[in-house]
Amino acid sequence: MSVVLASELSAKYAQWGISDTLTDLVRNFGDRIAFSSSFGQEDQVITHEIFANNIPIRVFTLDTGRLFQETYDVFASTSDKYGKRIEVYFPEAKSVEAMVQAKGPNSFYFSVENRKECCNIRKIEPLERALQGASIWITGLRGSQSANRSSMALFEWDERFKLVKYNPLIRWSLEEVVQYLEAYNVPQNALHKKGFVSIGCAPCTIATPDTDDIRAGRWWWEQSHKECGLHS
């Protein structure tokens, strides 16, 4: 697995549809493919492609312990609609306990270092466990979500996790995502209609209905860094 392979896959599947690409990837990589969903709009598009077409790809989510109730609601409605299994990964309890006992429940507000520590414990470490044995990691990233993501390719090598990342929606617009979800009646997080575009943990996400910056509502107290480390 390497940068070269990612480039070859990008070229091969450049004109393929999502479900055809996923099906062909399964033929080549078997059960070494995993899709991580946070139940955002983009992730719900991919979830529908996988579940509605009965493509045998493992779907998982990270439960940080600080999610909105509305996120759990769309989790439940998605499971009900498709009748498919979604694996859940939680942070290590002892790590969360140690952090909260040492710094309190809201330490992430006080420094970037504290916030990154919280993200690492609640998201990065569980993701590392979830991706063990995977060769292809499917994500719902779109290029217009942030400056960091604008240069990402359809397939790319993720040096941190040592695997190929497949970004099927990287060139989609938000409007295309919404139209797709409505056309196929795919469950959506109710917070999207309340001005929440990018939805993460409840203490770290606010509604931003009057800006075109999709990531503005994430870690709003920080001036520039808008990534938790999952897709650095």
Active site residues: 228
CB neighbour list of residue 125: distance below 8 Å, 6 or more residues apart = 91, 92, 95
Contact 51, 18 (CB under 8 A): no
- Burial level of 190, CB count in 10 A (0-12/13-18/19+)? middle
Tokens in use for 58? 């493992």
**Strands across the sheet containing 163-166:** 87-89, 58-62, 33-36, 136-138, 163-166, 155-158
Identify which of 87, 28, 19 has the alpha carbon closest to the alpha carbon of residue 53.
19
The count of residues in the chain is 232
